Amino acid sequence: MTRIAEIREWEPGRDQAQWGEISFTPFSRSRHRRGNQQPQAFRLVVERCPDRQGQRDLFTGQAWKYQAILTSDWQSCPEEIFSFYRQRGGQEREFDVLKNDFGWNRLPFSRLCQNTVYLLLTALIRNLYGFVITRFSEQVGYLHPRFRLKKFIFRFISVPAKWIRTARQTHLKLYTPKLYPE
């Protein structure tokens, strides 16, 4: 935060964001102790946006939200750098979903070819689940297309029910206030 406070020139960006950058050399003390190596300088690119609630930061005393990226790319503009890393973050989120919801954290087989088939099939199932939850959320109001698998199971599939037989007919009694499509 002390290095970010040294930025004097802020350029206007998208929405109400502002961009700033400064040269930064991390771990310069430890490298200097080890020998004659010249520490490598990196580019610290910072984006700041006004805080919607007006909450002031404890360290700077200003009502801004900061995001910073340390990079060795000196040619790209700050907007391109943030766009690239946001796309990368989106992919990391997909891997988190596959790992935690679809069993990628523990592979079931000891052979690589079998695990490859498993990974491909679960990725296919993830795409199929995305299609199904999107269609269901269009028809059912309490579902959202961004629900994770566990939340979908607890909200839509795991419903207490009982088969009731009356007047020579069998009916399914759902014990929930939610409406399910016919």
Distances 93 to 96, 99, 146, 147, 149 between C-alpha atoms, Å:
5, 10, 12, 13, 14
Record the tokens describing residue 57, joined without a space: 């930061």
Pairing of strands 42-50, 161-166: unpaired
DSSP three-state, residue 60: coil
Q: Which residues on adjacent β-strands are paired with residue 173?
A: 162
**Which tens digit of pLDDT belongs to each residue from 31-52?**
555 566 677 888 889 888 888 8
Q: Quick count: other Cβ atoms within 10 Å of Cβ 133?
A: 20
| 63-87: pLDDT as tens digits | 888 888 898 888 988 888 888 888 8
Domain coordinates in residue numbering, the chain: 2-80, 102-182
Q: How far is CA 72 from CA 21, 44, 79, in A?
A: 12, 9, 15
Could you tell me the pTM of the whole model? 0.59
Q: What is the CA radius of gyration of the chain?
A: 26
In the chain, the percentage of residues whose pLDDT exceeds 90 is 34
Residue 41 to residues 20, 37, 70, 73, 159, Cα–Cα distance (Å): 16, 12, 10, 11, 58
